[in-house]
Amino acid sequence: MTPPPARILIVDDEPLERSFLENELGAAGYSAVTAANLSEADRKLAGSKFEVLVTSLLIAGQDNLRFLRDVKKQNPTLAMIVLTDYRTIETAVEAMKLGAFDYLRKPFSKEELLLKIEKLLRYEQVVSENEELRQQIVLRHLENPTVAAAETDQPVDAEAPESAMPGKPGDLLSLKLSEIEHIDIGTVLEDLETRLIHWALEKAEGNLTKAAELLGIPLSTLQYKINKRSPSPSPLSDSC
């Protein structure tokens, strides 16, 4: 069964830009909805579910970064791409720190737009599939700890120590059913993302460009995520 097309909310106060984005995304098979300002965007986000938010950082007279911060707080799983120009690159970097996947600098082509959307959705799919796999492993452990431990090379520990209690993703397989609800999901997802980055870097033998391609994310996004995890990351090759 073919999954429904991703629903994308476009926020831009320029009518021609909104029309361009709506037409191109619609022609590519996505379900595109537009909003002319942040208030309208808030109403549409509250009334419907979207997979992607494409929003301009150039909307005059409005606090665009605060909007992103509030949206991410209310919709943690909503993926975001921001639109900027040469004057607001620093703002785009701030937007990525708030959770935006990437940015597009105006003017941009149809090909650039569709490539960003494709990479974003591919990345989200990888994260989702890995989260499903993690949940399956946890459930198998609850049903049969010996089998699950063998699958993950983890020792069976019927009496997990206090240090292996909720909040430590590496010890998820030693949790009891009554403790699962106390897991810090944010920490789990952060750990999952770190593991994916390490996997890609190993596959690419330290080449950032190739690692970014494996993950389906922009090189700039990978560099930001690595820097966020290590104040002084070891130098890695970013050449092809």
Q: What is the pLDDT of residue 234?
A: 43
One domain for residues 148 and 202: yes
For residue 84, count CB atoms less than 10 angstroms from its CB and return exposed for 0-12, middle for 13-18, buried for 19 or more: buried
Give a yes or no: residue 138 inside a domain: yes
One domain for residues 66 and 98: yes
Q: What is the pLDDT of residue 179?
A: 46
Q: How many CB atoms lie within 10 A of CB 2?
A: 4
pLDDT per residue as tens digits for the range 198-236:
888 888 888 888 888 888 888 888 888 887 765 444 444
One domain for residues 142 and 210: yes
Q: What is the pLDDT of residue 231?
A: 47
One domain for residues 25 and 55: yes
One domain for residues 104 and 149: no
Give a yes or no: residue 13 inside a domain: yes
Joined tokens for residue 31? 């379900």
Give a yes or no: residue 87 inside a domain: yes
Stronger pLDDT, 41 or 174, i.e. the higher one: 41
pLDDT per residue as tens digits for the range 43-54:
999 999 999 999
Q: What is the pLDDT of residue 141?
A: 58
Q: 184 pLDDT band (50/70/90 cuts)?
A: low
Cβ–Cβ < 8 Å for 103, 84: yes
Q: What is the mean pLDDT of residues 189-204?
A: 79
Collapsing DSSP to helix, strand or coil, 33 comes out as strand
Give a yes or no: residue 1 inside a domain: no
Which pairing describes strands 7-11 and 52-56: parallel, antiparallel, or unpaired?
Answer: parallel
Q: 139 pLDDT band (50/70/90 cuts)?
A: low
Give a yes or no: residue 235 inside a domain: no
* Cα separation, 131 vs 227, whole angstroms: 23
Give a yes or no: residue 16 inside a domain: yes
Joined tokens for residue 11? 């926020």
Q: How many CB atoms lie within 10 A of CB 121?
A: 18
Q: 177 pLDDT band (50/70/90 cuts)?
A: very low
* Cα separation, 185 vs 194, whole angstroms: 14
One domain for residues 195 and 221: yes
Q: What is the pLDDT of residue 170?
A: 42
CATH code of the domain in which 11 resides: 3.40.50.2300
Domain that holds residue 53: 7-108
One domain for residues 224 and 137: yes
108, 133, 159 - which closes a domain: 108
Cβ–Cβ < 8 Å for 215, 200: yes
One domain for residues 88 and 54: yes
pLDDT per residue as tens digits for the range 58-106:
998 889 999 999 999 999 889 999 999 877 778 888 888 888 988 999 9
Average pLDDT, the chain: 77
108, 135, 156 - which closes a domain: 108
Domain count, the chain: 2
One domain for residues 17 and 104: yes
Q: Which residues pair with 53 in a beta bridge?
A: 9, 80
Give a yes or no: residue 136 inside a domain: yes
Write the DSSP assignment of 134-198 as a string of letters. HHHHHHHHHH-HHHHHHHHT----SS--GGGSTT-GGGGGG--HHHHTT--HHHHHHHHHHHHHH
64, 85, 108 - which closes a domain: 108
Joined tokens for residue 102? 């990437």
Stronger pLDDT, 169 or 25, i.e. the higher one: 25
* Cα separation, 132 vs 137, whole angstroms: 9
pTM of the model: 0.58
User: What is the separation of C-alpha 97 from the centre of its chain, rounded to a whole number of angstroms?
Assistant: 12
Q: What is the pLDDT of residue 122?
A: 87
Collapsing DSSP to helix, strand or coil, 158 comes out as coil
Give a yes or no: residue 115 inside a domain: no
One domain for residues 77 and 147: no
One domain for residues 71 and 129: no
Residue 82 — φ and ψ, nearest 5°? -110, 150
Collapsing DSSP to helix, strand or coil, 132 comes out as helix
Q: 172 pLDDT band (50/70/90 cuts)?
A: very low
One domain for residues 178 and 216: yes
User: What is the separation of C-alpha 21 from the centre of its chain, rounded to a whole number of angstroms?
Assistant: 21
